[in-house]
């Protein structure tokens, strides 16, 4: 029995790859300010270095998501530099993230802006990102739109839907056959009355309208209070429309906390839907697992290592659900037995098996401990301190 569980966990861990976000290593904050970490990454090379370190310790993070505006400010001309760092630090570029929310021109929106010249800027930037992705051999373009409005009556919600449809078709046309568009949804922030792509239904309709290589991207922190995320995942799997995840956790809004830190049982249930779909259909949906967190207080590197380990633990727990037995108990509506069958996997302490798996793969049994003992943080602190402390932001 235990041996079977062990085997399931080992093979699940072998498949789990978690993409790290370049911006997760840089200093970020809330609107009230940033608490600066002296060891935070400043340059693109810093980010590759940090991500490479996390991958070396965990063996699960071969790719780094890039944010074009921050990481390739020179656009396509920065591609060579990315390739150099990728080779140097042993970590490949992953999903490519355009940014159409930060520039002053996007004050009233990007793709949904009523001004066609601004929409064109947004399209041009995203199409350039597609080109960058092609140069870097990256599969996924992740699209998050801050577009929306803050006050009733100030924008035509319907007109903006039409603009989104039109623009996304154009972008889709720029893809090569193995690329994908991932369309993210989010109920609010920074738009506070209406957000153009507010929920999974809107993202799915836009993806379908854009073309066959467009999918929905589920950020675990982008939901209404009490919304059932695993149910959304089930619907997306059923319709073959799930493209991937942005991992994080939240209690209130899009708090960008570390995965599973507030509600680990929910993450387990999400992973269960994916394992269960694969078990039942033998169709392993192509799901990109990406971290999208903002560690305002936790040390950046520690938070990232912790996130990867937590994801592995919860993924492993979900891997040992007894699907056969569960399906049978679900069919007969044996509620308490089904629930206990399901929870049995959640309560199982998988940590010893994770340590074994790491040992088998030549990895440190305790990645966090290994990191603390490595001296990396101290080195980075002394190298990067002066660069980090020069900029302070204020709220007003």
Q: Which residues within the stretch 156-185 sit at the binding site for a second copy (CB under 8 A)?
A: 156-159, 161-162
- Does residue number 43 form part of the binding site for a second copy (CB under 8 A)? no
Q: In whole angstroms, how close is the CB of 178 to a second copy at the nearest point? A: 27
Helix (H, G, I), strand (E, B) or coil at 238: helix
Of 1, 117, 153, 375, the one binding a second copy (CB under 8 A) is: 153
Helix (H) or strand (E) holding 166: helix 157-173
Of residues 220-239, those binding a second copy (CB under 8 A): 224-228, 230-231, 234-235, 237-239
d(CA 23, CA 96): 12
In the numeric block, which tokens belong to residue 185?
């949804």
By beta-carbon proximity to a second copy, the closer residue of 147 and 175 is 147
Q: Is 199 exposed, middle or buried (0-12, 13-18, 19+ CB in 10 A)?
A: middle
- Does residue number 375 form part of the binding site for a second copy (CB under 8 A)? no
- Does residue number 104 form part of the binding site for a second copy (CB under 8 A)? yes
- Does residue number 31 form part of the binding site for a second copy (CB under 8 A)? yes
- Does residue number 261 form part of the binding site for a second copy (CB under 8 A)? yes
Of 43, 201, 373, 379, the one binding a second copy (CB under 8 A) is: 201
- Does residue number 145 form part of the binding site for a second copy (CB under 8 A)? no
- Pick the stretch among 8-16, 78-86, 124-132, 261-269 that binds a second copy (CB under 8 A): 261-269
Helix axis angle for 300-319 and 351-360, nearest 10°, is 110
- Does residue number 35 form part of the binding site for a second copy (CB under 8 A)? yes
Q: In whole angstroms, how close is the CB of 32 to a second copy at the nearest point? A: 5
Of 87, 178, 251, 361, the one binding a second copy (CB under 8 A) is: 251
Cα 109 to the chain's mean position, in Å? 23
- Does residue number 120 form part of the binding site for a second copy (CB under 8 A)? no
Of 62, 70, 76, 355, the one binding a second copy (CB under 8 A) is: 70
Site string for a second copy, 314-353 (x = CB under 8 A): -------x----xx-xxxxx-xx-xxxxxx---xxx-x--
Q: Is 173 exposed, middle or buried (0-12, 13-18, 19+ CB in 10 A)?
A: exposed
Residue in this structure with the two tokens 């999974």, named with its chain if needed: 200
In the numeric block, which tokens belong to residue 55?
């991958």
Of 62, 75, 211, 264, the one binding a second copy (CB under 8 A) is: 264
- Those residues with Cβ within 8 angstroms of residue 373's Cβ, 6 or more apart along the chain or in another chain: none
Q: Where are the beta strands (DSSP E) in 42-113?
A: 63-67, 92-97
Helix (H) or strand (E) holding 68: helix 68-71
């Amino acid at each position: 029995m235990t041996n079977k569980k062990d085997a399931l966990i080992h093979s699940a861990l072998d498949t789990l790859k978690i993409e790290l976000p370049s911006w997760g290593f840089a200093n970020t904050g809330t609107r009230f300010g940033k608490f600066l970490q002296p060891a935070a990454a400043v340059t693109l090379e810093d980010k590759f270095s940090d991500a490479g370190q996390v991958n070396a310790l965990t063996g699960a993070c071969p790719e780094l998501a890039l944010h074009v505006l921050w990481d390739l400010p020179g656009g396509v001309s920065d591609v060579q530099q990315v390739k150099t760092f990728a080779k140097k630090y042993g970590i490949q570029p992953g999903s490519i993230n355009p940014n159409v929310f930060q520039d002053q021109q996007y004050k009233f929106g990007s793709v949904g802006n009523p001004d066609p010249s601004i929409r064109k800027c947004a399209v041009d930037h995203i199409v350039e990102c597609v080109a960058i992705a092609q140069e870097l051999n990256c599969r996924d373009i992740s699209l998050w739109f801050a577009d929306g409005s803050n006050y009733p009556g100030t924008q035509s919600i319907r007109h903006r839907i039409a603009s989104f449809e039109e623009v996304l078709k154009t972008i889709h046309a720029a893809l090569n056959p193995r690329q994908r568009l991932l369309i993210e949804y989010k109920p609010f922030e920074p738009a506070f009355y209406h957000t153009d792509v507010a929920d999974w239904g809107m993202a799915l309709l836009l993806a379908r309208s854009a073309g066959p290589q467009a999918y929905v991207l589920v950020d675990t922190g982008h939901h209404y209070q009490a919304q059932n995320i695993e149910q959304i995942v089930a619907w997306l799997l059923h319709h073959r429309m799930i493209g991937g995840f942005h991992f994080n956790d939240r209690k209130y809004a899009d708090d960008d906390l570390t995965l599973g830190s507030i509600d680990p049982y929910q993450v387990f249930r999400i992973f269960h839907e994916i394992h269960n779909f694969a078990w039942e259909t033998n169709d392993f949906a192509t799901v990109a697992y990406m971290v999208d967190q903002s560690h305002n207080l936790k040390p950046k590197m520690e938070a990232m290592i912790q996130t990867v380990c937590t994801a592995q633990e919860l993924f492993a727990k979900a891997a040992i659900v007894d699907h056969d037995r569960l399906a049978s108990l679900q069919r007969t509506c044996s509620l308490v037995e089904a629930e206990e069958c399901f929870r049995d996997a959640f309560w199982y302490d998988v940590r010893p098996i994770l340590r074994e798996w790491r040992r088998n793969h030549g990895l440190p049994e305790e990645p966090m401990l290994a990191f603390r003992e490595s001296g990396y943080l101290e080195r980075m602190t002394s190298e990067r301190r002066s660069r980090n402390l020069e900029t302070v932001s204020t709220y007003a």
